[in-house]
Chains A and B, each alone.
Chain A
Amino acid sequence: EVQLVESGGGLVQPGGSLRLSCAASGFIFNTYAMSWVRQAPGKGLEWVSAISGSGSGGSTDYVDPVKGRFAISRDNSKNTLYLQMNSLRAEDTAVYYCAKDRGSSSGWGFDYWGQGTLVIVSS
């Protein structure tokens, strides 16, 4: 059974940092592209960042508002996806989901999602 379990969310002051983790199991983790998708309270879904699987070189990409502040990475030996978030802003407040892509590169559809971890940026 595929499982994605996020952790690391919480309350942080503007300008602060957090590192989110997503522990994956039930599939060959290094093969698949992975993404972070966020959802602000009462709002829609916003893709944040993606990292390709080992077959596609582990390339990364980001939505413009987080470029230079967030960094996605993966540790295939630990079957874990990460999102390092720096210089956090109030508008980064959201539930952050990790999502598994159907393919080694992004874009084929997210067939599994974690339960989400809430990040609140507030003083």
Chain B
Amino acid sequence: EIVLTQSPGTLSLSPGERATLSCRASQSVSSSYLAWYQQKPGQAPRLLIYGASSRATGIPDRFSGSGSGTDFTLTISRLEPEDFAVYYCQQYGSSPILTFGPGTKVDIK
């Protein structure tokens, strides 16, 4: 089973600052199968990044993804007020075929 670990658990930043979120896998993950989601309270998750680095439709270019193997990063270049939320990474691989990380909460400092 591939376990995803996200750090930090909480990231306290101000609007306009850069956010760097980490997702580490217990085994190598194909970059094709690594995704990032944003979730706001009371809402369903929203796909931000797929294939480790491709932005989903309608996602602003301040969101970027990078990484390979076991280490992946989501970067928000300049935080907007609407970006304060919880972010999850997700991988597809061996059983269970799909797993999510525990999430990183980005809150307002």
Using a CB–CB cutoff of 8 Å, the interface residues on chain A facing chain B are 35, 37, 44-47, 50, 61-64, 97, 102, 106-111, 113-116
Nearest CB on A from B96, distance (A): 5
Top 6 A-B residue pairs of the complex, sorted by shortest distance between their CB atoms? A107-B92, A109-B50, A113-B44, A47-B98, A109-B35, A45-B100
Q: Is B69 close to A, CB under 8 A?
A: no
Chain B residue with Cβ nearest A107: B92
Nearest CB on B from A27, distance (A): 13
A46 touches B100 (CB 8 A): yes
A35 to chain B: which residues have CB within 8 Å? Answer: 98
B97 touches A109 (CB 8 A): no
A47 to chain B: which residues have CB within 8 Å? Answer: 90, 96-100
A106 touches B88 (CB 8 A): no
Using a CB–CB cutoff of 8 Å, the interface residues on chain B facing chain A are 32-33, 35, 37, 39, 44-47, 49-51, 56-57, 88, 90, 92-93, 95-103
A97: contacting residue among B44, B90, B98, CB under 8 A: B44
Contacts A44-B100, A106-B97 given; indicate if A111 touches B44 (C-beta within 8 A).
Answer: no
18 extra interface residue pairs, beta carbon distance < 8 Å, beyond A37-B100, A45-B100, A113-B46 = A45-B45, A46-B100, A47-B100, A50-B98, A61-B97, A106-B97, A106-B98, A107-B32, A107-B92, A107-B93, A108-B50, A108-B92, A109-B50, A110-B47, A110-B90, A113-B44, A113-B45, A116-B44
